[in-house]
Structure 1
Amino acid sequence: MDVGVVYFFTDRGPSPVDFGQAAEAYGFESLFVPEHTHFPASRRTEYPVAYGGPELPEFYLRTYDQIVTMTMIAAHTQKIMLGAGVCLLAQHDPIAKAKQIASLDHLSGGRVICGVGMGWNVEEAEAHGVVWNRRYSTVRDKLKVMQALWTQDEASFDGVRASLAPSWAWPKPIQEKGPRTYLGGAGPTTMRHAAEWADTWYVVPPADDPTLEQSIPKFRRVVEESGRDPDSVGIAVASAPPDPAILNTYRELGVERAVLWVDPADDPGEGMRNLKTVSKVLPDIT
């Protein structure tokens, strides 16, 4: 099982370059970067309790652009994988996003993981023209457009929410089939969609199943029911706790990657210390 970290980079916290270099030096295999473009002040959507709500942490309001941050880190590291964790794809033009990710994968030597998700803030999505009750099919079809551009010399896709007329686009990603695609989330609808069309289910452990000993067998059954081989669809854990016992359970259950949560901090030194503290679990993951 690979072990990475996730961090909300802001204009008040540690430098993404310093953080990325330190994460690589500590031995983390990957670094995931979240995304939020903005937060409408209406606050109609409550911050989910599952994420620590209802009070909204200020770091959500100050995040750097995801692709710019990943690019900065990639330019100053050698081998650490860079994950979009996750890209709120419904809010983006898929042709432009495919070009960004293909370029980053090419320039970084094939180090990109493409996590996508639905988001939780309705008004943020609506500001981008997203129809909330169509967000799953929108993300699915936009990702299919991106994958066509990454893998086909004359790319095309005919979808319900997004389509692509026959088109040319280079460079292609270094990774032959394009970056591995993660679908982030924990609910039954996300589980079903991940089972049907994602490379990997990127699950946030639910409070009633922190070790995923109930969720993972259920997911594999859903994959099989969808007509896919359960061994062909990976499982990764988002915002995993830095607890060796839980992490070793994930490994025993066949999780491909655990991405450990590092507490964001306004003070750069504190953010770096939080990373160092989390890194101390690495020797205990067998």
Structure 2
Amino acid sequence: MEIGVVYFFTDRGPDPIEFAQAAESYGFESLFVPEHTHFPVSRRTEYPVAYGGPGLPEFYLRTYDQMTTLSMVAARTETLKVGTGVCLLAQHDPIAKAKQFATLDHLSNGRVICGVGFGWNVEEAEAHGVNWKKRYSTVRDKLKVMQALWSQDEASYSGDIASLEPSWAWPKPFQGREIRTYLGGAGPTTMRHAAQWADAWYVVPPVADPTLEDTIPQFRRVVEEAGRDPSSAGIAVASAPPDAAVLEKYRAQGVERAVLWVDPADSPAEGMRNLETVSKVLAQLG
């Protein structure tokens, strides 16, 4: 099982390059960066309790652009994988987004992981023209367009929400491989979609099942019901706790990657200290 970290970079916290280089030196395998473009002040959508709500943390309002941050990190690290955790794909043009991912993966020698998600803030999505009731099929179809552009010399896809006429687009991802895609989130609907079309489910551990000992067997049953070999659908854990006992239980159940939560900070020094604190769990793992 690989161990990475996730961090909300803002204009008040640590420098992303310094943070990433430190994470790499501690032995973390990957760094994931979330995405929110803006927050309408109406606040009609409550911050989910599963993520720590209902109060909305200020760091959500100040996040750096996801792809710009990951590009700078990739340019100044050697082996650290860089992931979107997650890209709110419904809010983006899939042709342009496919180009961004493929370029970053090509220039970083294959270090990109593409995590996508449906999002939770309705008014944020609607500001981008997203039909909230169709967000699931929107993300699915847009990702299928991206995957076609990554893998096919003459790429095409026909979907309900997004389609692509036969097209040429290069570069392809590094060494011609497709970028591994995660579908992030929690709950039965996201689980079902991940089982049907994602490379892996990037699951946020439910409060009632922090070790995923009930959730993972359920997911594998859903994968099988979807007509897939359960071994073909991976499991990664989003915002995992820096707890060695919990992480060992993830490993025993075949989790491919646990991405540890590092508390965002209002000062660079505090953010770096938080990373150092979380890194101590690495020495506790076999």
TM range (shorter): over 0.9
**Partner residue, 1:204:** 204
TM-score by length of 2: 0.99
Following the alignment from structure 1 to structure 2, what is the Cα–Cα distance between the partners of residues 175 and 283? Answer: 34
Following the alignment from structure 1 to structure 2, what is the Cα–Cα distance between the partners of residues 15 and 178? Answer: 30
**Partner residue, 2:134:** 134
Cα displacement (A) at 1:178: 1.6
Look up the equivalent residue of 1:183 and give its one-letter code: L
**Partner residue, 2:270:** 270
**Partner residue, 1:285:** 285
SS at match of 1:73: helix
**Partner residue, 2:83:** 83
**Partner residue, 2:258:** 258
1:8-34 C-alpha deviation (Å, 9 max, x unpaired): 000110000000000000000000000
Q: Residues 11-160 of structure 1 correspond to what in structure 2 (within 5 A)?
A: 11-160=11-160
Q: Runs of 5+ in structure 1 lacking a partner? A: none
Look up the equivalent residue of 2:180 and give its one-letter code: R
1:203-247 C-alpha deviation (Å, 9 max, x unpaired): 000000000000000000000000000001100000000000000
SS at match of 1:87: coil
Following the alignment from structure 1 to structure 2, what is the Cα–Cα distance between the partners of residues 280 and 170? Answer: 41
1:28-87 C-alpha deviation (Å, 9 max, x unpaired): 000000000000000000011111111100000000000000000001000000000000
**Partner residue, 2:193:** 193
1:182-216 C-alpha deviation (Å, 9 max, x unpaired): 00011100000000000000000000000000000
Cα pair 1:241 1:261 within 8 Å, conserved: yes
Total equivalences in the alignment:
286
Look up the equivalent residue of 1:179 and give its one-letter code: I
**Partner residue, 1:176:** 176
Following the alignment from structure 2 to structure 1, what is the Cα–Cα distance between the partners of residues 50 and 164? Answer: 37
Query: Does the C-alpha gap of structure 1 residues 163 and 68 become closer, same or farther in structure 2, counting only changes over 3 Å?
Result: same
Cα displacement (A) at 1:283: 1.4
Cα displacement (A) at 1:175: 5.2
Following the alignment from structure 2 to structure 1, what is the Cα–Cα distance between the partners of residues 264 and 143? Answer: 29
Following the alignment from structure 1 to structure 2, what is the Cα–Cα distance between the partners of residues 254 and 218? Answer: 14
Cα displacement (A) at 1:177: 3.1
Following the alignment from structure 1 to structure 2, what is the Cα–Cα distance between the partners of residues 155 and 116? Answer: 21
Query: Does the C-alpha gap of structure 1 residues 60 and 109 become closer, same or farther in structure 2, counting only changes over 3 Å?
Result: same
SS at match of 1:212: coil
Cα displacement (A) at 1:253: 0.5
Look up the equivalent residue of 2:21 and give its one-letter code: Q
Following the alignment from structure 2 to structure 1, what is the Cα–Cα distance between the partners of residues 52 and 175? Answer: 36
Following the alignment from structure 2 to structure 1, what is the Cα–Cα distance between the partners of residues 199 and 175? Answer: 14
Look up the equivalent residue of 2:281 and give its one-letter code: V
SS at match of 1:270: helix
Identity %: 78
Cα pair 1:105 1:175 within 8 Å, conserved: no
SS at match of 1:86: coil
For the aligned residue pairs, the C-alpha RMSD in angstroms reads 0.6
Q: Runs of 5+ in structure 2 lacking a partner? A: none
Look up the equivalent residue of 2:25 and give its one-letter code: A
SS at match of 2:74: helix
